């Protein structure tokens, strides 16, 4: 006899069996789809290779197939063939074997130019200067031929790099005002490490400042050294500048946070599709200082590990965040080995900071039909709370505690830089002016700017003005909607008022153009630390940080829950 309990047991077992069966069916179906489509891909390639009218390049064709496959994921999932491994290692470690100099394509000469030698590295020590045009490397002429500019730059970069201790002769053309001269330098390569802390110092009223440009291997040691030295020099508060810091090592970010928060605090949790992707990162050491007031500067290019640092400091109410909303990259990548010494850098998880939020701004799984993606709208974000109870939100990056809207980058400045006009002017300026003694002494006089304007005009410089483009669009819309007939005279008058006037534009935007020229000069004489110091001369974010750090009451108020919110929470 079958009792009611027995029936229930049998029904329960049947449901479980059915569930397992359905799960197994789904897995089998997925495996079939994978096998089927790999067979189709393989067969199509074989048929093309055998029957297509022209000979195909198998490596190029399959590489395009791989690129198409990766395009359906996110921009951070990338394939690195064996020949590209060095660039991946450099990105992770910040180290490479070479001469220590930034280069780029210089279209006026159809060559590669030295943009910035690194302080203390072989190129700078040998006497190579920014503006030098590379003619040959180790006796091999560096000509572009049919290569694209980016390919040409990669080729020259590869030639300059090599095993530390190896030497070669670098031949360059140094452009002088009325002539040019060919120069040769014997350079010995060495291990190059990009300095992640290009500048730190006491800026005002016992306020320390530290610029951190990337989270490469062992950068926490550089930050620790700088921070301790600043404390020894009398710093009572600290500004950490993470603007334009694209991130890097998650572990290094956690270690730096540990300098300012107690041991044992959970900073980051990662969650992915598989169990191995889940992990927790806690502070492991005793901190250096948990009381010093901190301000962290961020902008739209502050991303990834930089957002872990700034976001965690915000979630733990440990620092005031100042600037503009950050980029919003809450994804974690790991590397996977592939056949033939290739490597796949693949997004395996998302990270969540102390409040429990993930600041990822774009859901790459929800692409539009045309392949485009959009940021998560604020209306769809969720409220979380800091340790003190302040409201913060997920999605869309880190929202600063104090938002500072800086000046917009003028269109004319973009084109002046893109056409190398500022680069060329500064090259001549530095060759004809004696070395300046300090960044503070750099001034762009009216005479200097008049000379710059003269060179711009002589180059027949033109650029796309935004007002011109918008007016053209407005005219097209007016014609389409039938309003042009009655507004023709007004449009004509407006076109005359907006007539291209280079003199007027150079005068109107003189301030940002002069600032860019001064920054380029500071970089030539004092390298990256000079560039940072020059930018700090007129810096709204820094001014706001100084204001907050000099006011303990305001600092405390920002990091506290408003009274009304606190009462509501009770």
**Mind telling me the catalytic residues?**
304, 315, 329
**Residue 370: count of CB within 10 angstroms of its CB:** 5
Distance of alpha carbon 482 from the chain centroid? 45
What's the CA gap between 542 and 548, in Å, rounded? Answer: 10
Q: Which residues contact 433 (CB under 8 A, 6 or more apart)?
A: none
Q: List residues bridging with 331 in a β-sheet.
A: 350
User: Length of the chain, please?
Assistant: 570
Comparing CA positions, the residue from 364, 361, 350, 249 lying closest to residue 309 is 249
* Residues linked to residue 191 through DSSP beta bridges, in sequence order: 97
Determine how β-strand 180-188 pairs with β-strand 167-175.
Answer: antiparallel
DSSP H/E element including 78: strand 78-80
- The count of other CB atoms within 10 Å of the CB of residue 427 is 22
Q: For residue 189, what is the DSSP state?
A: -
Listed residue (185, 181, 190) closest to 128, CA to CA: 185
- Per the listing, tokens 């530390």 go with 164
CB-based contact 289:274 (threshold 8 Å): no
For 255, the token pair is: 């270690």
Maximum C-alpha span of the chain: 110
* Cα 31 to Cα 20, 136, 365, distances in angstroms: 16, 54, 21
Question: What residue has token string 């197939």?
Answer: 65
DSSP 492-548: HHHHHHT---HHHHHHHTHHHHHHHHHHHHHHHHHHHHHHHHHHGGG-HHHHHHHHH
CA atoms within 13 A on the CB side of 27: 6
Helix 510-535 and helix 411-418, axial crossing angle in degrees, nearest 10? 70
**Whole-angstrom Cα distance, residue 170 to residue 106?**
17
Q: Which value, in Å, is the radius of gyration of the alpha carbons in the chain?
A: 29
Say which residues have a Cβ less than 8 Å from residue 168's Cβ, sequence separation at least 6: 137, 138, 139, 162, 186, 187, 189
Phi-psi region of 317 (alpha: psi -120 to 50; beta: other; left: phi over 0): left
Residue 32 phi/psi, 5-degree rounding, is -65, -45
Nearest to 228 by CA among 287, 314, 312: 287
């Amino acid at each position: 006899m079958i009792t009611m309990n027995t029936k229930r047991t049998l029904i329960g077992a049947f449901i479980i069996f059915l569930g397992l069966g359905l799960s197994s069916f789904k897995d089998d179906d997925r495996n079939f789809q994978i096998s089927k489509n790999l067979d189709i891909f393989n067969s199509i390639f074989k048929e093309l290779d055998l029957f297509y009218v022209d000979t195909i390049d198998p490596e190029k064709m399959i590489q395009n197939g791989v690129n198409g496959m990766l395009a359906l994921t996110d921009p951070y999932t990338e394939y690195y063939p064996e020949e590209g491994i060095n660039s991946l290692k450099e990105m992770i470690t910040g180290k490479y074997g070479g001469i220590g100099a930034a280069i780029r394509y210089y279209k006026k000469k159809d060559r590669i130019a030295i943009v910035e030698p690194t302080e203390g590295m072989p190129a700078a020590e040998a006497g190579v200067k920014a503006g030098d045009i590379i003619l040959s490397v180790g006796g091999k002429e560096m000509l572009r031929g049919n290569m694209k500019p980016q390919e040409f730059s990669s080729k020259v970069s590869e030639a300059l790099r090599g095993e530390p201790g190896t030497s070669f002769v670098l031949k360059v053309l140094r452009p002088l005002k009325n002539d040019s001269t060919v120069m040769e330098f014997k350079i010995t390569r060495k291990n190059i490490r990009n300095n992640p802390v290009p500048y730190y110092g006491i800026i005002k009223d016992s306020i320390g400042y530290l610029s951190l440009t990337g989270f490469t291997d062992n950068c926490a040691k550089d930050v620790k050294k700088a921070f301790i030295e600043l404390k020894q020099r009398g710093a009572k508060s600290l500004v950490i500048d993470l603007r334009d810091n694209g991130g890097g090592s998650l572990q290094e970010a956690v270690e730096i946070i540990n300098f300012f928060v107690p041991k044992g605090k959970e900073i980051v949790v990662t969650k992915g599709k598989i169990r191995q992707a889940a992990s927790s990162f806690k502070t492991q050491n005793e901190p250096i200082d948990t009381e010093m007031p901190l301000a962290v500067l961020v902008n739209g290019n502050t991303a990834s590990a930089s957002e872990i640092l700034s976001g965690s400091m915000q979630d733990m109410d440990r620092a005031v965040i100042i600037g503009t909303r950050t980029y919003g990259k809450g994804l974690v990548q790991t590397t996977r080995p592939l056949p033939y010494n290739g490597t796949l850098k693949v997004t395996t998880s998302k990270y969540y900071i102390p409040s429990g939020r993930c600041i990822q701004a774009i859901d790459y799984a929800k692409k539009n039909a045309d392949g485009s993606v959009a940021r998560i709208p604020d209306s769809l974000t969720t409220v979380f709370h800091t340790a003190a109870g302040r409201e913060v939100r997920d999605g869309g990056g880190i929202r600063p505690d104090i938002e500072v809207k800086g000046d917009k980058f003028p269109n004319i400045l973009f084109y002046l830089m893109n056409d190398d006009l500022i680069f060329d002017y500064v090259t001549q300026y530095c060759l004809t002016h004696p070395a300046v003694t300090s960044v503070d002494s750099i001034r762009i006089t009216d005479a200097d700017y008049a000379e710059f304007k003269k060179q711009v005009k002589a180059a027949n410089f033109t650029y796309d003005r935004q007002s011109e483009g918008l007016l053209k669009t407005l005219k097209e819309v007016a014609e389409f909607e039938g309003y042009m007939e009655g507004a023709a005279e007004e449009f004509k008058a407006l076109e005359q008022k907006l007539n291209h006037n280079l003199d007027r534009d150079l005068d109107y935007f003189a301030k940002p153009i002069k600032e860019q020229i001064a920054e380029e000069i500071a970089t030539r004489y004092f390298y990256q630390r000079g560039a940072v110091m020059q930018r700090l001369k007129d810096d709204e974010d820094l001014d706001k940080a100084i204001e907050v750090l000099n006011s303990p009451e305001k600092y405390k108020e920002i990091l506290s829950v408003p009274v009304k919110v606190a009462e509501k929470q009770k």
